[in-house]
Amino acid sequence: MQLTRYTDYSLRVLIYLAVNQEKLATIEEIADAYGISRAHLMKIVHRLGLAGYLETVRGRGGGLRLARPPEEIRVGAVVRHAEESMALVECFDPQTSHCRIEPVCRLQTVLNEALEAFLQTLDGYTVADLVVQRRKPLARLLGTA
């Protein structure tokens, strides 16, 4: 399984904001820190805001910040929100499945169990867990120290 870049960047935005909680950040700062597209980041920030993970402050001196403490943002929830589909194989989606053996195949059950274990593991972590004891080195690498 490979998570999409969209999910990766969503998590990176939350990490950046958790590392720099004391100030507002801009999309430009985050894009520069990670070397990613501003246009792509704008879409991600918009959706994270709609989902209640971020809040934006408009106007001169405005920017972004976490809408809630990083201890309250579960990594699994962010992944579920960011991924359009968690269909690991074709048969996960009955609308598009053309698998001939689906009625008797156990693969879907096994993969679904593995996916649930994966997400359950991610649910055990928060954004705060991703930065705890790493705030200073992360800030240095992101150019915000």
- Domain ranges, ordered by start, for the chain: 5-83+126-142
Q: Are 3 and 9 in contact (CB under 8 A)?
A: no
pTM (whole model) above 0.75: yes
Tens of pLDDT, residues 50-104: 999 999 988 888 899 999 999 999 999 999 999 988 887 777 777 777 888 878 8
Architecture of the domain defined by 5-83+126-142? Orthogonal Bundle (1.10)
Residue 24 to residue 142: CA distance in whole angstroms: 15
User: CA nearest 4: which of 84, 74, 75?
Assistant: 84
Residue 12 to residue 138: CA distance in whole angstroms: 11
Q: Please tell me the least confidently modeled range out of 72-81, 112-121, 131-140.
A: 131-140
Task: Give all strands (DSSP E) within the chain, no chain letters.
Answer: 54-57, 63-66
